[in-house]
């Protein structure tokens, strides 16, 4: 039931409302482009190549995951040992785990024996057999890991052994610091297999850094409510200072955690070079999100080996790793294609997918998919995206999107008048925000909800304090599902949104009306004209509605305010913390509202409604709201304005309405051609 719409019409009208045409509306394509599955977009449409600084939130999740991985909590799936970090991990029951306590794991690099040479393990357990024929345990060469490896399961105990190269050269195991003299002048390696010592740390191994508190806040430019605007991801000096300190702290923690490191920090780094190189590779994969070039690997190892104390070397190397632009920036540079665009590498694609849908670094399976070329096609991307969207982390990330989109993040620090709202606390404010995040994630990712469900749905999760604001019985002692009254549907009816758009002691039809225009409909009212003057005198005893009605009566103001205030009046039943009210001071509330030009500023269609339950369905029915949601989703994913890829965004907007599942939108967005293509930026300009 959508009214016929034409985005192009918007550009010509906005001038009457105080100035420039709406800069935020995409140029749009002709309506005759049609709704096809394949993209019809001109190949020139691709967002600019970019370096995207990790946001505080992304940094926090990334290091949380890094520490979990180090602590062994994030087992990669595998089918063979070489699917794992074979020098120190085994593939057990389909997951990569640290080598079991009764396994002797040996790895030697090409500096010890080249790929064409044979290496066997000879020891007391096989009568010191120096060849395979005599019972020696052979090592296998792994081209992928560039080393010889073997894992021997042995009974617990102490086992002397040696490695034999090509059947005749006997050496001690370079990866094992334990040595034993056999009493006749021979020094052998000693395998100590002891399963009685758990050897794990007490408590969780977690980062000692809180980026959200410790790092400077991101700057969010106009029209981009998210913290990840590409243009604003700048390492200013205060941010550099915080990042340097954080890297120092984290590196120290990692270096300290000897029991979690796969190689012996008590020995010289050169004694365990193969092991450390393998560790560096793995660490870089988790931090730089791509394989290392050999020069990089060598350089990082040289940092590690530069200290006589290997633990100090690990600290230094890790600190460099975490201070590096390769860690701090997610690259979206790509590789030049014949058509002049740049296609993101598989690794860049993995990062983009992971940070977009989970807000953190790619996990082992995603890294693996990148390595195997599975992200080279949109089908492959869609398959991984489907997996990511089914994980709880996608819900968390979507909650972050929703609270930023709706502008409710700051609610916990907003001040309310203590006489009018004595029960308002920071904790209540935080619960308000959490409710929005939970509701949005549940609708979009646990169900098949679309924008209509977000705007008009009545199912949510509440605490007893929130239930009181909603005017319903508390459904439980803590968070519990509830259905809210029909008069306050969707995200517009949440205490968070109503608090964020009200002053400490009074409602604000202007802020609430502007919220609808800017965040739900993506309509920009522009700046007031120079001769707008100030606000006319008002009668302080009038109702809120009447006071603002007087503003709209001034023709200099009403040009724009006719689009704003009448929408905001529809919210008047809700006070500054979102509680239903019948009275506004001495006046009964009249929540009659008018929605003028729902599809665009300048259009003169007007719909009258009463209250939020009248407004919300109108918004859901509009094409402007669906288009706006697509644009917001694009901004959230790309960190760039939709104008950078107008054709792609238009195609997405054409295909979606308020009833299509949001999950489908996300899947289609990340599988879109423009998602993984970039172009050379034309000029540096502020956006």
CA-to-CA separations, 439 to 46, 138, 402, 628, in angstroms, rounded? 33, 57, 9, 20
What helix, strand, coil percent values describe the chain, rounded to 5?
A: 45, 15, 45
Please count the residues of this chain forming the interface with other proteins, following the rule CB under 8 A: 79
In angstroms, give the least distance from the CB of 231 to other proteins. 6
CA gap 508, 568 in Å, rounded: 7
Residues 44-83 interacting with other proteins (rule: CB under 8 A): 48-51
CA gap 81, 32 in Å, rounded: 56
Instruction: Annotate 484-511 with b (16+ C-beta within 10 A) or e (fewer).
Output: beebbbbbbbbbbbbbbbbeeeebbbbb
Residues 9-28 interacting with other proteins (rule: CB under 8 A): 19
Residue of 64, 71, 102, 256 interacting with other proteins (CB under 8 A): 256
In angstroms, give the least distance from the CB of 377 to other proteins. 26
In angstroms, give the least distance from the CB of 489 to other proteins. 24
Residues 277-306 interacting with other proteins (rule: CB under 8 A): 303
CA-to-CA separations, 1 to 4, 447, 544, 636, 658, in angstroms, rounded? 9, 24, 34, 28, 11
Residue of 532, 542, 559, 596 interacting with other proteins (CB under 8 A): 532
Stretch that binds other proteins, among 234-242, 449-457, 560-568, 604-612 (CB under 8 A): 234-242
Q: State the sign of the Cα–Cα–Cα–Cα dihedral 254, 257, 261, 264.
A: positive
Is 512 one of the binding residues for other proteins (CB under 8 A)? no
Q: Which of 184, 138, 176, 135 has the alpha carbon at shortest distance from 159?
A: 176
Residue of 81, 151, 239, 286 interacting with other proteins (CB under 8 A): 239
CA gap 146, 359 in Å, rounded: 33
Residues 113-172 interacting with other proteins (rule: CB under 8 A): none
Residues 450-509 interacting with other proteins (rule: CB under 8 A): 500, 503-505
Per the CB < 8 A criterion, the answer to whether 147 and 109 are in contact is yes
Is 236 one of the binding residues for other proteins (CB under 8 A)? yes
Per the CB < 8 A criterion, the answer to whether 467 and 479 are in contact is no
CA gap 479, 636 in Å, rounded: 28
Q: State the sign of the Cα–Cα–Cα–Cα dihedral 441, 445, 446, 449.
A: positive
Three-state SS sequence of 563-631: CCHHHHHCCCCECCCCCECCEECCEECCCEEEEECCCCCCCCCEEEEEHHHHHHHHHHHCHHHHHHHHH
Per-residue x/- marks for other proteins, 610-649, CB under 8 A? ----------------------------------------
Residue of 237, 308, 582, 586 interacting with other proteins (CB under 8 A): 237
Residues 379-408 interacting with other proteins (rule: CB under 8 A): 407
In angstroms, give the least distance from the CB of 413 to other proteins. 4
* Strand, coil or helix: 533: coil
Which lies closer to other proteins via its Cβ, residue 163 or residue 251? 251
Residues 416-435 interacting with other proteins (rule: CB under 8 A): 417-419, 426
Which lies closer to other proteins via its Cβ, residue 394 or residue 514? 514
Residues 534-553 interacting with other proteins (rule: CB under 8 A): 534-538, 540
Give the CA dihedral 645, 650, 652, 656, nearest 10 degrees: 160
Which lies closer to other proteins via its Cβ, residue 418 or residue 481? 418
Stretch that binds other proteins, among 61-69, 138-146, 184-192, 526-534 (CB under 8 A): 526-534
In angstroms, give the least distance from the CB of 205 to other proteins. 11
Which lies closer to other proteins via its Cβ, residue 253 or residue 364? 253
Residues 308-337 interacting with other proteins (rule: CB under 8 A): 315-316, 319-320, 323-326, 333
Residue of 33, 231, 378, 550 interacting with other proteins (CB under 8 A): 231
Q: Which of 173, 166, 168, 127 has the alpha carbon at shortest distance from 150?
A: 173
Residue of 308, 338, 413, 586 interacting with other proteins (CB under 8 A): 413
In angstroms, give the least distance from the CB of 302 to other proteins. 11
In angstroms, give the least distance from the CB of 583 to other proteins. 19
From the number of C-beta atoms within 10 Å of its C-beta (0-12, 13-18, 19+), residue 181 rates as: exposed
In angstroms, give the least distance from the CB of 208 to other proteins. 5
* Strand, coil or helix: 75: coil
CA gap 630, 627 in Å, rounded: 5
Which lies closer to other proteins via its Cβ, residue 251 or residue 647? 251
Is 253 one of the binding residues for other proteins (CB under 8 A)? yes
Residues 646-685 interacting with other proteins (rule: CB under 8 A): 680-681, 684-685
Residues 168-227 interacting with other proteins (rule: CB under 8 A): 208, 213, 216-222, 224
CA gap 500, 492 in Å, rounded: 11
In angstroms, give the least distance from the CB of 378 to other proteins. 25
CA gap 79, 621 in Å, rounded: 50
Stretch that binds other proteins, among 237-245, 269-277, 488-496, 621-629 (CB under 8 A): 237-245
Which lies closer to other proteins via its Cβ, residue 239 or residue 452? 239
Which lies closer to other proteins via its Cβ, residue 199 or residue 418? 418
In angstroms, give the least distance from the CB of 573 to other proteins. 21
CA gap 584, 569 in Å, rounded: 12
Residues 341-380 interacting with other proteins (rule: CB under 8 A): none
In angstroms, give the least distance from the CB of 364 to other proteins. 25
* Sheet of strand 335-336, all strands in order from the earlier edge strand to the far edge: 335-336, 342-343, 677-678
In angstroms, give the least distance from the CB of 593 to other proteins. 23
Residues 551-610 interacting with other proteins (rule: CB under 8 A): none
Which lies closer to other proteins via its Cβ, residue 133 or residue 684? 684
Stretch that binds other proteins, among 144-152, 245-253, 382-390, 607-615 (CB under 8 A): 245-253
CA gap 358, 381 in Å, rounded: 15
Which lies closer to other proteins via its Cβ, residue 138 or residue 528? 528
Q: State the sign of the Cα–Cα–Cα–Cα dihedral 490, 491, 494, 497.
A: negative
């Amino acid at each position: 039931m959508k009214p016929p719409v034409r985005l192009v019409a918007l550009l010509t009208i906005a001038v009457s409302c105080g100035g420039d045409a709406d800069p935020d509306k995409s140029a749009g394509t002709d309506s005759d482009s049609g709704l096809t599955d394949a993209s019809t977009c001109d190949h020139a449409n691709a967002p600019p190549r970019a370096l995207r600084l990790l946001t505080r939130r992304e940094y926090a999740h990334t290091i949380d995951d890094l520490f979990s991985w180090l602590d062994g909590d994030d087992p990669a799936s595998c089918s063979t040992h070489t699917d794992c970090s074979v020098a120190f991990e085994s593939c057990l029951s389909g997951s990569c785990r640290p080598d079991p306590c009764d396994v002797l794991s040996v790895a030697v690099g090409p500096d010890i024996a080249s790929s064409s040479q044979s290496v066997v393990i000879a020891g007391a357990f096989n009568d010191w057999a120096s060849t395979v024929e005599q019972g020696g345990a052979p090592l296998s060469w792994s081209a992928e890991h560039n080393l010889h490896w073997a894992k021997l399961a042995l009974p617990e105990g102490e086992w002397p052994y040696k490695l034999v190269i090509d059947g005749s050269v006997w050496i001690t195991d370079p990866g094992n610091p334990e040595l034993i003299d056999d009493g006749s002048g021979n020094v052998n390696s000693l395998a100590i297999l002891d399963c009685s010592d758990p050897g794990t740390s007490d408590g969780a191994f977690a980062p000692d850094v809180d980026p959200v508190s410790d790092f400077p806040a991101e700057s969010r430019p106009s029209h981009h409510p998210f913290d990840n605007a590409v243009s604003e991801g700048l390492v200013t000096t205060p941010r550099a200072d915080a990042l340097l300190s954080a890297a120092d702290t984290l590196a120290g923690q990692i270096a300290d955690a000897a029991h979690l490191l796969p190689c012996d920090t008590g020995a010289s780094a050169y004694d365990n070079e193969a092991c450390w190189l393998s560790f560096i590779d793995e660490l870089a994969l988790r931090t730089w999100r791509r394989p290392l070039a050999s020069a990089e690997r060598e350089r990082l190892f040289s940092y590690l080996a530069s200290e006589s104390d290997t633990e100090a070397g690990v600290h230094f190397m890790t600190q460099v790793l975490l201070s590096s632009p390769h860690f701090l920036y997610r690259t979206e540079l790509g590789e030049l294609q014949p058509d002049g665009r740049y296609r993101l590498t598989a690794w860049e694609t993995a990062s983009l997918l992971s940070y977009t849908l989970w807000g953190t670094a790619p996990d082992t399976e995603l890294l693996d998919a990148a390595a195997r070329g599975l992200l080279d096609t949109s089908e492959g991307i869609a398959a991984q995206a489907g997996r990511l969207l089914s994980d709880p982390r996608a819900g968390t990330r979507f909650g972050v999107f929703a609270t930023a989109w709706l502008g409710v993040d700051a609610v916990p620090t907003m001040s309310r008048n203590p006489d009018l709202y004595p029960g308002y606390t920071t904790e209540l404010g935080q619960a308000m925000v959490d409710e929005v995040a939970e509701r949005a994630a549940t609708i979009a990712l646990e169900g098949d909800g679309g924008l209509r469900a977000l705007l008009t749905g009545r199912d949510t999760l509440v605490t007893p304090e929130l239930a009181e604001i909603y005017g319903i019985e508390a459904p439980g002692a803590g968070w519990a599902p509830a259905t809210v009254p029909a008069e306050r549907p969707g995200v517009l009816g949440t205490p968070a949104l109503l608090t964020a758009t009200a002053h400490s002691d009074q409602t604000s039809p202007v802020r609430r009306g502007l919220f609808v225009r800017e965040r739900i409909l993506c309509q920009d009212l522009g700046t007031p004209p120079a001769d707008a003057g100030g606000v006319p005198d008002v009668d302080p005893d009038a109702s809120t509605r009447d006071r603002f009605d007087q503003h709209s009566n001034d023709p200099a103001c009403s040009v724009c305010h006719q689009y704003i205030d009448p929408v905001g009046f529809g919210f008047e039943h809700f006070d500054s913390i979102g509680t239903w009210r019948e009275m506004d001071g001495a006046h009964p509330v009249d929540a009659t509202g008018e929605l003028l030009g729902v599809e665009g500023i300048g259009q003169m269609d007007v719909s009258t409604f009463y209250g939020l339950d009248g407004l919300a369905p109108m918004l859901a029915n509009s094409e402007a709201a669906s288009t706006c949601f697509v644009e917001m989703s694009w901004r959230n994913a790309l960190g760039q304005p939709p104008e950078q890829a107008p054709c792609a965004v238009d195609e997405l907007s054409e295909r979606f309405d308020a009833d299509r599942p949001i999950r489908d939108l996300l899947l289609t967005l990340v599988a879109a051609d423009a998602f993984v293509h970039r172009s050379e930026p034309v000029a540096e300009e502020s956006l």
